[in-house]
Amino acid sequence: MKTLISRTLLAALLASTLAAPAVASDAPSHGDEITQVRAVVKNLLTDNAAFVKAHKNSYFDPLVKGQQPRATLVTCSDSRVHTHALDKTPDGDLFMVRAIGNQHATGEGSIEYGVRHLNTPVLMFIGHSSCGAVKAAMGGYAGIEPAIKKELDTLHVPGKNPKDDREVMTSVEANVNSQVASALQKYDAEVKAGTLTVIGAVYDFRNDYKQGNGRLVVVNVNGEIDRAKIKQAPAMAKK
């Protein structure tokens, strides 16, 4: 019901938000819900206006001409995982593919476009702390909506009914390794030719790896999961 109300009134809310600040006497009869929607829309437009003001027209010239991203990143749709934690200047840098559980299967077409049409040399799958999709796959989700169930059905993780976040984190990493393995099968030729490196990582905002809250921890490079060997991999070794 809330979604239907929000969609029905969105156009009017946009108009009123652009025209003037919210005034209590002008508020629609739906009260708090309308106020919340208006606040969200206003925040997005205000932040976008600040972005426009902070960037000269020349900033957008390379973007208008086309895209040449440096990496294809597959992340979870989770609102706690965003590009500002991964790249200070993501515009034009990252070809982003987002879906619950950061999966290869559910984002295959988009991923292939990044790898084989945009020719990104890096394909990275990024899991994260406290992943709800992984928790669901470890538990039960038979009664969930069909479209969501369809995406969770392709998420295969070890362990069932997790007792704590440590068990979830083990499955988060296992899922990342599974996605890397799936991609390595599809892009075997590119990896062997040296034109593509497939990397698995975990965005650890809980600090489960004890490397700092918000750290991006690489756990897999082209199928290698031994941490000592990962550090020596060409993609990771310091010159």
pLDDT at 239: 57
Predicted confidence at residue 30, as pLDDT, reads: 65
- pTM greater than 0.75 (yes/no): yes
For residue 25, what pLDDT is reported?
A: 47
pLDDT of residue 46: 97
| Radius of gyration (C-alpha) of the chain in whole angstroms | 21
Q: Block means of pLDDT (10 residues each) for the chain, length 239 residues? A: 46 46 50 90 96 95 95 97 94 96 98 98 97 93 93 91 88 97 98 97 96 97 96 82
Q: In order of start, what are the domains of the chain with their CATH numbers?
A: 2-54 (no CATH), 66-232 (3.40.1050.10)
Secondary structure of the chain in HEC code, one letter for each residue: CHHHHHHHHHHHHHHHHHHCCCCHHHCCCCCHHHHHHHHHHHHHHHHHHHHHHHCCHHHHHHHHHCCCCCEEEEECCCCCCCHHHCCCCCCCCEEEEECCCCCCHHHHHHHHHHHHHCCCCEEEEEEECCCHHHHHHHCCCCCCCHHHHHHHCCCCCCCCCCCCHHHHHHHHHHHHHHHHHHHHHHCHHHHHHCCCEEEEEEEECCCCCCCCCCEEEEEEECCECCHHHHHHCCCCCCC
Q: What is the distance between the alpha carbons of residues 180 and 198, in angstroms, rounded to a whole number?
A: 6
User: Could you tell me the sign of the dihedral formed by the alpha carbons of 105, 109, 113, 114, in that order?
Assistant: negative
Partners of 75 in the beta sheet? 98, 126
